[in-house]
Structure formats: structure tokens, C-alpha cells
Structure 1
Amino acid sequence: MILVDIISIILRLAELAFATIVAALNGRFLHAARGNSPWDLGRHIYTEVVAGLSILFAIVWLFPFSSSFIHWPMDLVISVMWFVSFGLLVNWLHGVCGYVFDWDNVGFDGVGCGEWKATVAFAFLSAICWLVSALVGLYWVRRHTPAPVDAGYRRRRWYRSRV
């Protein structure tokens, strides 16, 4: 099962890196948008919170102990949160920078559409990594959960009397 441990470590490192990138890019936008209403920045604040939680949990669960695999439900929840963040960011762009997965107009200037498309792309990659991590955890838990033992005991049906 060393392969599952190695896959888990690689996924946690990728989750940590992707969340850090999204937090940095999104935090840069939030810093530049000081003075705007929090209602206007809600989706960006949500993305920043999801990135912060992802960084925290990825660091805590990075260590390869068997107990790190039982957190697969939380991995699934964080994956759903990332997919929601991805959808909110794509909806916010609503075609201003062209098609979301069209990378022709992306350059290294660090501002504008390239930065936003990178944020959207890393949010999507983070969602995929958390989902795969949840599936690996579910696989590990299913492999290490003992099957119920049938000792020949039969439960009495609810409609049969004791007499």
C-alpha cells in the first residue's frame, strides 16, 4: 500500500500548491479592489476562504499516516467547494476574456485576462485533486474495513411473536 501513500502525498502537495496560487492571485485582486462593497466581492471572498481552508487542511493532512485516509468525506466537501468557486469565477468573467478554456490571449504580463484564467484554471485543478484524494481515501477505507462476520445468528423478524 506504499503506492497509495505516495499518491496521497503527491495529491496533498498539488492541493497545497494550487490553493496557494489561487489565494495569491485572488488576494491580489481583493487588495486592488479595496473600498468596493463586500457584496460585490462575495465570490472572491468565498474563493479566498476556500483557498485558506484548503491550505490548512492540505498541510495538516500532508503527513502519510493511516488516519489521513479517513478524511475522504471532508476531501469530497472541499472538492465541491472548489467546484462552486470555479463556477462563481467563470460566471463572474461571463465571456469578457473570451471562452474560459481558450488560452490564446494569455500572456506573461501578469494582469488582466491571463491572471483571471490562471485563477480559474488552478481552482479547477484544485477541485479535481481534492476529488481524486477523496476517491483514494474511499478506496483505502474500503480495503481496510473488515467484512462483517456472520456467526450464524439470525435476527427475529419483527412480525413474529416470542410465543
Structure 2
Amino acid sequence: MILADLFSMILRLAELAFGAIVAGLNGDYLHAAQHADSWQLHRFIYAEVVAGVSIFFAVVGLFPFSGCFIHWPVDFIISVAWFVAFGLLVDWLSGNCGYVFDWDGLAFDGSASCAQWKATIGFSFLSAICWLVSAMLGIYWVHRHTAPVGGSYSRRPWYRLRI
């Protein structure tokens, strides 16, 4: 069981890091476009909110007493929210900087907006995958450690045979 706890902790740290990266890159763009109409920035505001919620729940999931495996529905909902943010950002890019996952020829010299957006899209996808894996791990853990309704549930190790 310690292996599942360790894997869950690694996933939470990755979720926290990816959410912070997306929040930072996206926040930089929102700051630069602060005088634009909020309806034109709706997808970026959505991605920023999802990143903030993701950071909050990743920090809460890092607490050792939080029982992080029973919160798999929250993990799944945040994963879906990240996939929606990923889709919105990919739709906004829409070929202006080339293919979304074409990373050739990108320069990171401070003025590379295409590189910034491709990094935001990539990290939002990675965050969605981490939240989905965390939800699947939670479903597996809850399935293995809960009793069925109306009956007792006891698991014997595979090596103990009933005679």
C-alpha cells in the first residue's frame, strides 16, 4: 500500500507543478491583455480558474490526513475541466503558430509567444492526464478496500487456501 501512497504523492506534486506552470504562463498573457474585452479572454480566464482550482486541490491532496484516494470524483472532474481547457486553448491557437505539437524551430528568447502558448497547451494536457491517472488510482483503491453493500468483505491473500 505504501507504493500506491508514494505514487499518489508523486502525482499530486506533478499536478501542483503543472497547474502552477499553466497559471503562470496564462497569467502573464492575461496581464498583457488586461485592457481587452473579457469576452475575448474567456478561454484564458477559464484556464486560469481551472489552474487555480487544480493548485488548491493538489495542495489539499498532499496533506497526509486527507485520505486522497476517496476523492477520486473530484480528481475526475478536474481532469475533465483540464481537457476542456486544453481543447479551448488548442482551438484558439488554430494553426497560427503551426501544428500544436510541432516544437521544431521554437526559440525561448522572451518574445516567443508561440512557444509560450505551446508550453501552456502541453502542460494543460499533462495536467489533465495526471488528474485522470489519479482518479483511476482512487477508483482502484476504493474498489479494493470497501465492502459490498449488505455483506461483509474480507480478502484473503492469494497464498492462503481454504481447506
* TM-score of the aligned structures, taking structure 2 as reference length: 0.89
CA drift of 1:88 comes to 0.2
Q: Return structure 1 stretches of 4+ with deviation > 6 angstroms.
A: none
CA contact (8 A) 1:15 1:54 kept: yes
The 5 A counterparts of 1:135-150 are 135-148=136-149
Alignment pair present for 1:22 and 2:38: no
Instruction: Find the counterpart in structure 2 of residue 2 from structure 1.
Output: 2
CA drift of 1:34 comes to 1.1
Distance 1:100 1:50, change over 3 A: same
For structure 2, the 5+ residue unaligned runs are: 153-163
Aligned residue-pair number: 151
Distance 1:2 1:150, change over 3 A: closer
CA drift of 1:149 comes to 5.3
Partner Cα separation in structure 2 for residue 58 and residue 95 of structure 1: 32
Post-superposition Cα deviations, 1:33-62, rounded to whole Å, max 9, x if no partner, equal: 011000000000000000000000000111
Root-mean-square deviation (CA, aligned residues, Å) is 1.4
* Greater radius of gyration (CA): 1
Instruction: Find the counterpart in structure 2 of residue 124 from structure 1.
Output: 125
Instruction: Find the counterpart in structure 1 of residue 94 from structure 2.
Output: 94
Instruction: Find the counterpart in structure 2 of residue 38 from structure 1.
Output: 38
Post-superposition Cα deviations, 1:15-50, rounded to whole Å, max 9, x if no partner, equal: 000000000000000000011000000000000000
Partner Cα separation in structure 1 for residue 103 and residue 117 of structure 2: 11
The 5 A counterparts of 1:61-80 are 61-65=61-65, 67-80=67-80
Post-superposition Cα deviations, 1:65-92, rounded to whole Å, max 9, x if no partner, equal: 4721110011000000000000000000
For structure 1, which segment, 15-24 or 59-68, has the greater mean C-alpha deviation from structure 2 after superposition?
A: 59-68
Instruction: Percent identity, please.
Output: 66
Q: Could you tell me which amino acid in structure 1 is paired with residue 50 of structure 2?
A: V
For structure 1, the 5+ residue unaligned runs are: 152-163
